[in-house]
Amino acid sequence: MLKNDLILRAAKNQVVERTPVWMMRQAGRILPEYRTVRAKMGDFISLVKTPEFACEVTIQPVDILGVDAAIIFSDILVIPEAMGLPYKMIESKGPWFEKTIQTKEDLNSIHIAHLQNYQYVIDAIKLTKKELNNRVPLIGFAGAPFTILAYMVEGSGSKTFSKAKKWMFTQKHEAHQLLELITLSTINYLKDQIKAGADMVQLFDSWAGILSPQHYEEFALFYIQKICKAIKDEFPETPITVFAKGAFFARENMGKLSCDAIGLDWNMDIKESRALIGNNKTLQGNLDPCILYSDNKTIVAETEKMLLDFGPKGHIANLGHGIYPDVEKEKAKLFIDSVKNYKHKV
């Protein structure tokens, strides 16, 4: 049915004609076309909550950059809000929660998220699937439980998330209760995304890198595996990608997750990562997003070097993090084209 299903086949570790490519944050400020829609809507959260606009900006990079997949325009903080903890997005500062989770009472005041709590995302997915008209697959996503807890407790972004970690380390029992609530919410959320048409889903553990290896096992990986298993039980054919930024120390254990692909950031050596994760998983990534500030020759050379290191099978090309908003559209397109034009020697 899909005209281009390269990414789905690559995620399943199948032999593909060429390496598929997309970019985290491809629907966003790098595109002047996005900034126009955004200016109309006023604020980021309204854009996320209006299916027609979310659909429009989701499809823009498919039309403009020629990526091999669309990813629904949304935010990982949909889940805290759907659980009863609303947030604001403060310009040039980031997310901010008026209420945070600190006490047992706070925990009792939130709930497991269900369809009615995030209906607008599901509507956006349905609309986007229709408008995409099977040109490329649509990726759904959610934040991983530890990263979501970090925001719900800290109440904003942070370099260290020390308030969130303090809470986790002193209120261990409550921390696990909260992680469980987030996990169950995320399972509902991703299943509903798949039912609505998402062809593939990704978990973003953006703050994985602030935990020690032991704490990452206990507070993060355990819940990620729970989500992966629940999704696989109901949708064994839908590929799942787990991207835990900074969790270099967990690569070996991530090789055992019930998922299809593992995202790598640009700190992680490609061959070492392959050796640690094993041959059963597809790897996604991992160009340093700052390479896209370089001259054209460097962008092509670095992209080709990356493709060579990953090899022709079990790789989805991407950056090692979301594209930075001030990268020129032409440079982003050059990265996409460099992947699409590359021929692996076999």
Q: Shortest approach of its own copies to residue 189 CB, angstroms?
A: 26
Using the 8-state DSSP alphabet, how is residue 323 labeled? P
**Residues 34, 87, 118, 151: which is the catalytic one?**
151
**Bridge partner list, 138:** 70
What share of residues in the chain are helix, strand, coil (percent, to 5)? 50, 10, 35
Tell me whether residue 136 or residue 250 sits nearer to its own copies (CB atom).
250
Burial of 122 (0-12, 13-18, 19+ CB in 10 A): buried
Work out whether 92 is an interface residue with its own copies (CB under 8 A).
no
* CA separation for the pair 24, 10 (Å, rounded): 17
Q: Would residue 251 show up in a list of annotated catalytic residues for this protein?
A: no
Tell me which residues in 237-276 interact with its own copies (CB under 8 A).
246, 248-249, 266-269
Q: Would residue 151 show up in a list of annotated catalytic residues for this protein?
A: yes
Q: Shortest approach of its own copies to residue 234 CB, angstroms?
A: 34
Work out whether 28 is an interface residue with its own copies (CB under 8 A).
no
Q: Would residue 29 show up in a list of annotated catalytic residues for this protein?
A: yes
Tell me which residues in 302-321 interact with its own copies (CB under 8 A).
321
Binding residues with its own copies: total (CB under 8 A): 30
Q: Cα dihedral angle (318, 221, 194, 52), rounded to 10 degrees?
A: -60
Would you say 39 and 59 are in contact if contact means Cβ atoms under 8 Å apart?
Answer: no
Tell me which residues in 273-302 interact with its own copies (CB under 8 A).
288-291, 293-295, 298
Q: Would residue 123 show up in a list of annotated catalytic residues for this protein?
A: no
Report the alpha-carbon angle 101-158-250, nearest 5: 90
Token pair of 80 as six digits: 């805290």
* CA separation for the pair 74, 67 (Å, rounded): 18
Work out whether 166 is an interface residue with its own copies (CB under 8 A).
yes
Q: Would residue 25 show up in a list of annotated catalytic residues for this protein?
A: yes
Provide the annotated active-site residues: 25, 29, 38, 75, 151
Residues that bind its own copies (CB under 8 A): 159-160, 162, 165-166, 169-170, 209, 211-213, 215, 246, 248-249, 266-269, 288-291, 293-295, 298, 321, 324, 326
